[in-house]
Structure 1
Amino acid sequence: MMKKIVSMCGRKSSPRGYNRDLSWWPKEGFVKVCVGKKDSGMPLQEFELETNLLNHRLFKDLLELSVEEYGYDYCGALRIACEVELFLCILNLLRGRDPSVHYKELSDINY
């Protein structure tokens, strides 16, 4: 799954060779992510995320939770089933310089 996501990032032509406006396509090294829970009543929020962050343990845990809610078979951007506030908190931690983030689990995150 991760290889497929990363292989799609930075693509210069549209999927399946169609010639379309690609302004919606993520920049090279990024992937589009929609964040939110189905039952929250709120629309999903879209983000562009650095692909290297997807390899982090915290994101792997988020992806496992997302499979439980969305499954593997859906169209569009990668979906993360969590509160937007939690997602933003994790992003801030991973983009920061604190090395202890590499040892944290989802249950350790207070947002």
Structure 2
Amino acid sequence: MEEARSRRGYVPVLVGKGKEGMEKIWVTIKAIQHQTIVELLEQSAKEYGYQNGLLKITCDADKFKAILHNIYKK
């Protein structure tokens, strides 16, 4: 069964480097507003411009998950 298209209180974000290595990670709305995540989004926007569709962050997926883990445990 396909993953739910939307989750209440979450935002899907494509994270990774290069088109092949992108992973969809569901991020809480609260975490998406965290300064570190905002900075990563701004960095990606500077590098690739603003685009329609899913939010994209150019960051290693495992590193991003570690950042989220630290945000969630606080």
| Aligned residue number for residue 46 of structure 2 | 68
Q: Distance in 1 between matches of 2:72 and 2:13?
A: 16
Q: Distance in 2 between matches of 1:71 and 1:92?
A: 27
| Aligned residue number for residue 16 of structure 2 | 36
Superposed CA deviations along residues 1-22 of structure 1, whole A, max 9, x for unmatched, are xxxxxxxxxxxxxxxxxxxxxx
| Aligned residue number for residue 62 of structure 2 | 85
| 1:58 maps onto 2:1 in alignment | no
Letter in 1 for 2:29: T
Q: What is the CA RMSD across the aligned residues, in angstroms?
A: 1.8
| 1:47 maps onto 2:25 in alignment | yes
| 1:95 maps onto 2:69 in alignment | no
Aligned residues: 72
Unaligned 5+ runs, structure 1: 1-22, 98-111
Larger relative CO (CA 8 A, sep 6+): 1 or 2? 2
Q: Higher strand fraction: Structure 1 or Structure 2?
A: 2
Aligned residues with identical type, % of pairs: 31
Letter in 2 for 1:25: R
Q: Distance in 2 between matches of 1:45 and 1:68?
A: 20
TM-score (norm 1): 0.57
Unaligned 5+ runs, structure 2: none
TM-score (norm 2): 0.81
Q: Distance in 1 between matches of 2:62 and 2:24?
A: 13
Q: Higher helix fraction: Structure 1 or Structure 2?
A: 1
Considering only CA atoms, is the larger Rg found in Structure 1 or Structure 2?
1
Distance apart, 1:33 and its partner CA:
0.5
